[in-house]
Amino acid sequence: MRKIIITGGRPLKGEIPVSGAKNSVVALIPAMILADEPITLDGVPDLSDVANLVEMLSLLGVKVNRQQESLTADPSGLVNRPIPPEMISQLRASYYFYGSLLGRFGYAKVGLPGGCDLGPRPIDLHLKAFEALGAQVTYEGDHMILSTGGRRLQGAHIFMDTVSVGATINTMIAASLAQGRTVIENSAREPEIIDVAILLNNMGARIRGAGTAVITIDGVERLGGTRHQVIPDRIEAGSYIALAAAVGEGICVTNVLYEHLESFIAKLEEMGVRMIVKEDAVFVEKQEALRAVDISTSPYPGFATDLQQPLTPLLLKAQGRGKIKDTIYEKRVNHVPELARMGAEISTLGGQIIYTGGKPLSGAEVRATDLRAGLALITAALMADGQTVITDIEHILRGYSNIIEKLQALGADITLVDE
Ligand code: UD1
């Protein structure tokens, strides 16, 4: 079993670089199979989610070459093989292969997605969109089959009942090779959607409006090769800015696109966090007194649900009481009992998290129940007195590229042990 062991209380300073966006790259990789020529992605983070998706590419006959942060995929020998449940369930975002296989072949046989346990995470919007584009959805044992019966997908007018990042991207991917025009209304507006649209357009797709609530896709006959730079990970950036404010004595978080973090930075300013926003970096000073604030998550450009847990340890440092309401994933509260075990005054009540800041934390044995909870525990452990042992760290390694090395470079006493 692998664990992370942290001894808190060390002064952290220096620079911490942000890698390419996980939520972007997990869609960019499946989207590459829409092309019939090689595509290179630059700025690919070193994550187990990426390794798992590359395994799926190989299963489909795609030649992959990875060199440092570049990944080249040659889909010219693509074959439409079923992706088995045990592969698909390794990460939720593998469902983007549903859209790309369907777009390319009009047929996909795939297992059902997995991912962090944040309560029920249906994929009904994805399936409704595929159906609107002319696919039929059936089930065969533990596989799902999406099929157009040999026809090309047909452009359609789709209204998303709920704002969904995944369903918006998956529809965009599938519709790129459809016949005619697809309009997605009530689309999500996350920066990762723009990143995927840029890749697809550079491959030859005709997508307009990505980043707004209405996206129009005019289907094309084929897509070709290109080279694409993945955007910086805004969630990793926000996580490290919060960590720097909690335990840093002057930390510069680099490779940051500030425009993607405005609602988050505004919250930190409300708390009294002192930082200097530079062109592509944020310098976080050593903090004095901080104020408790309330957080309510919402779709982009609102406060990201993915940053709620990473911010929680910093909130525990602030003076006063506050509450956190996650309107996207109400069950995203698994970090609460773990932080309480470390001495935090924090609990859940009526679908909200209630906290009182100012109580010192002490080291404990805790469990990283999901990816962002894991980051919260790392930050809390760096703040705490004594040693913390974090288990179930696979979740953390799914989403934070080289996190151990990056924190060691700041002076943190953090090690990964494999027992
Ligand atoms: C993406 C992000 C995840 C982030 C989430 C919300 C990726 C790989 N993951 O997840 O990190 O926390 O956005 O910003 O990009 N819903 C339905 N039916 C569906 C799809 C979604 O009801 O078919 C609901 C979900 O349960 C949730 C809400 O819509 O309540 C938003 O989910 P969605 O934006 O789809 O999240 P993901 O794309 O899974």
- In the reported structure, the alpha carbon of residue 298 is separated from the centroid of ligand 1 by a whole-number distance in angstroms of 11
Give the per-residue pLDDT at 241: 98
For ligand 1, say whether the CB of 62 is within 6 Å of any of its atoms.
no
Respond yes or no: is residue 116 known to be catalytic: yes
Structure confidence by residue, pLDDT tens digits, 82-118: 999 999 988 889 999 999 999 999 999 998 876 556 5
Q: Is the CB of 161 under 6 A from ligand 1?
A: no
The average pLDDT across 158-173 equals: 97
In short, whether 23's Cβ falls inside 6 Å of ligand 1 is: yes
162 lines ligand 1 (CB under 6 A): yes
In angstroms, rounded to a whole number, what is the distance separating the alpha carbons of residues 332 and 312?
A: 12
Residue-level pLDDT at 116: 56
Task: Name the 3-class secondary structure at 42.
Answer: strand
Q: Ligand 1 within 6 A of 122 CB?
A: yes
Single out the catalytic residue among 116, 247, 282, 295.
116
Please give the distance, rounded to the nearest whole angstrom, from the Cα atom of residue 170 to the centre of ligand 1: 12
**Nearest atom, ligand 1, residue 124 CA:** 23
**Which strands, in side-by-side order, build the sheet including 181-185?**
157-159, 181-185, 214-218, 206-208
Exposure class string for 214-244: b at 16+ Cβ within 10 A, else e: ebbbebbeebebbebebbbbbbbbbbbbbbb
Which residue puts its alpha carbon closest to atom 2 of ligand 1? 23
Distance 121 CA to ligand 1 centre (A): 7
Bridge partners of residue 365, in order along the sequence: 389
What is the model's pLDDT at position 122? 86
Q: How many CB atoms are closer than 10 A to CB 383? A: 23
pTM score of the predicted model? 0.96
Please report, as a single letter, which amino acid is at residue 300: Y
Q: Does ligand 1 lie within 6 Å of residue 123's CB atom?
A: yes
3-state helix, strand, coil in the chain (%, to 5): 35, 30, 35
- Distance in angstroms (rounded) separating the CA atoms of residues 298 and 282: 23
Looking up tokens 């074959």 gives 79
Cα-Cα-Cα-Cα dihedral of 154, 85, 64, 33, to 10°?
0
User: How many CB atoms within 10 Å of residue 137?
Assistant: 14
For 302-354, write each residue's pLDDT tens digit: 999 999 999 999 999 999 999 999 999 988 999 999 999 999 999 999 889 99
Which residue's CA is the nearest one to ligand 1's atom 5? 165
Distance (Å, whole) CA 284 – CA 53: 34
Q: In the prediction, which pLDDT does 334 show?
A: 94
Residue 21 CA to ligand 1 center (angstroms) comes to: 16
pLDDT tens digits, residue range 113-140?
A: 765 565 556 899 999 999 999 999 999 9
Which secondary-structure segment (H or E) carries 13?
Answer: strand 12-17
